[in-house]
A and B are shown apart, each in its own frame.
Chain A
């Protein structure tokens, strides 16, 4: 996959007419809260499978375990559009050396009359009592809906109706054939994903050279670490365990601290994103300052080796400084993008690593 060198965002959530040019192998995105950092990552992630409604559902920030408090699928999709504008349209374009990809999505609002039975199915809630079922399930109600349409380079690839109160996105059929966009290998790592213990070690264990390098870096966290192994139990389930001279037996990854889990997640995500795109949201979360330099250095060098384009957001000036300086040979491959809210919308200050270091150290300017 050729690197994305430009993103033109006409409209997405609160971002209007933002142009990100001269993008590089590694792109650090910073800025005040609510300036659109995560939105930029979501835009890139939408390239993964834009013809799949479940992909759009995953962008809609509905992550909470409580069903009671969770935003509906309808609200999540609705909020992808600029709430200040009546005309609901998303539009953005990606450019690589060889390709231009334009994605747009419309949401046309209307009202539909549907049966209670249908509403129960799409809302994901069972609320019609058993004794009244026959009587009530054919009754109808008027419900707001949006007709959500997506087009890739002008060609319609998705068209679905989404109803107000709809919690359930799995009622839609999955696309039979994957729509070709720039790449499907896009790996997104949220700030807290490491807490679940999820990693992509399967990819790493197939690469002995990278596995060995990773172990060497993990010694910053546990100097006695010997190996990481996949342990399958009698019930067909498996778990990754770490063998270390610090303990009498191998321990599951889950019992280790957040820093170790985050480092393993980040490093394994690089390998998983081979020849694709890696999106790291608040990449420095949970990693101790003493381990940052070696971990980031490995990530950047391996991204270059595996042709992975990285977009990473951060609030931490310490982490940003470490990334800018950890690989002097790669200074031209790193861009520092600061999103700034201005009277005319969100704008980007975009400089290479050398200039970013100069702005910070010589001029005393804030990079975040």
Chain B
């Protein structure tokens, strides 16, 4: 079985990779990066004969274009073993209307009719293909956090809030960033950016020498596999 996971950025990609590897027993099987910018684009994991590709799209509005390319890929697939069986899209909950806007873009690009009630629910996506018997995929559009506005970093912060010291650092980081956001209109104009800035401030205090993309290592310092917040939020990765 082959699964594609599209997410907005590298933080999401690393988070998903971590959960798949350490919670659900997948094994790392390679990566792809942009040759010019060195930006991490994709990581591949394997478990028995199953494959999952996690792709960072560089922003939510690039995901519909990738979905259109996936549609083209499936339309031209001639072999069962090349078929993608499931696609998962992970998006932040930027604003109250951001989900609706995102779905409109997806529907425009791939000719579907997804509604807001199709978010966080497993659905089917039928793709035309002249060669294979069935090209209907499972599709799961996951929005985190589910009900409130925020970003995947909001979940991370909840999960990191494990004792009074961590709690204070998070609280102080949040206060600092939110104050900055309120007092000017140039930066941090989206809720998701505020969440990312809070996380980055926390990590700047927690591990100032570490580079951004090595942050996954810190996650191993805790038993995240047993963390209720992460397990609840990422249960959709039990593919």
Contacts and interface: CB of A to CB of B under 8 A. Distances in A.
A347 B131 contact: yes
Interface string A330-368: 000000001010110001010100000001001111100
A366 B78 contact: yes
B108 interface: no
A343 B82 CA distance: 18
Contact of A366 (B69, B72, B82, B132): B82
Contact of B76 (A342, A343, A347, A351): A351
B29 interface: no
A352 B41 CA distance: 27
Contact of B131 (A349, A362, A363, A364): A349
Contacts of A338: 78
B133 interface: yes
Given A364-B82, A365-B82, A366-B82, A359 B133 contact: no
B69 A340 contact: no
Nearest to B73: A363
Contacts of B133: 343
A349 B73 CA distance: 12
A227 to B, nearest CB: 45
B78 A363 contact: no
Interface in A187-229: none
B76 A349 contact: yes
Contacts of B186: none
B73 A365 contact: yes
The interface centre, meaning the residue of B78, B130, B132, B133 with most chain A CB atoms within 10 A of its CB, is B78
Contact of A362 (B69, B77, B82, B130): B69
Contacts of A347: 130-131
Contacts of B131: 340, 342, 347, 349
A359 B76 contact: yes
Task: Give the bracket for the number of chain A residues in contact with chain B.
Answer: 10 to 19
Contacts, number: 30
Contacts of B79: 366
Nearest to A356: B76
A337 to B, nearest CB: 11
Interface string B205-234: 000000000000000000000000000000
Nearest to B132: A342
Nearest to B81: A366
Contacts of A365: 73, 76-78, 82
A261 B172 CA distance: 79
Contacts of B73: 359, 363, 365
A347 B133 CA distance: 13
A265 B82 CA distance: 37
Nearest to B70: A363
Interface string B112-136: 0000000000000000001111000
A343 B130 CA distance: 10
A137 B30 CA distance: 77
Contacts of A364: 82
A93 B66 CA distance: 40
A366 B79 CA distance: 8
Interface string A307-346: 0000000000000000000000000000000101011000
Contacts of B76: 349, 351, 359, 363, 365
A65 to B, nearest CB: 38
Contacts of A362: 69
B157 to A, nearest CB: 36
A346 B117 CA distance: 41
Interface string B73-87: 100111100100000
Contacts of B130: 342, 347, 349
Nearest to B75: A349
A354 to B, nearest CB: 13
Contacts of B82: 364-366
B202 to A, nearest CB: 37
A89 B69 CA distance: 42
Nearest to A342: B131
A139 to B, nearest CB: 56
Given A342-B131, A343-B133, A349 B78 contact: yes
Nearest to A343: B133
B222 to A, nearest CB: 36
Interface string A53-80: 0000000000000000000000000000
Nearest to B72: A363
B162 to A, nearest CB: 41
A6 B133 CA distance: 26
A225 to B, nearest CB: 39
Contacts of A363: 69, 72-73, 76
Nearest to B78: A340
A223 B79 CA distance: 43
Contacts of B132: 342
A349 B82 CA distance: 15
Nearest to A341: B131
Nearest to A338: B78
Nearest to B79: A366
Nearest to B76: A359
Interface of B: 69, 72-73, 76-79, 82, 130-133
Interface of A: 338, 340, 342-343, 347, 349, 351, 359, 362-366
8 contacts: A342-B130, A342-B132, A347-B130, A347-B131, A349-B78, A349-B131, A351-B76, A363-B69
Given A342-B132, A363-B73, A366-B79, 4 more contacts: A342-B131, A347-B131, A363-B72, A366-B82
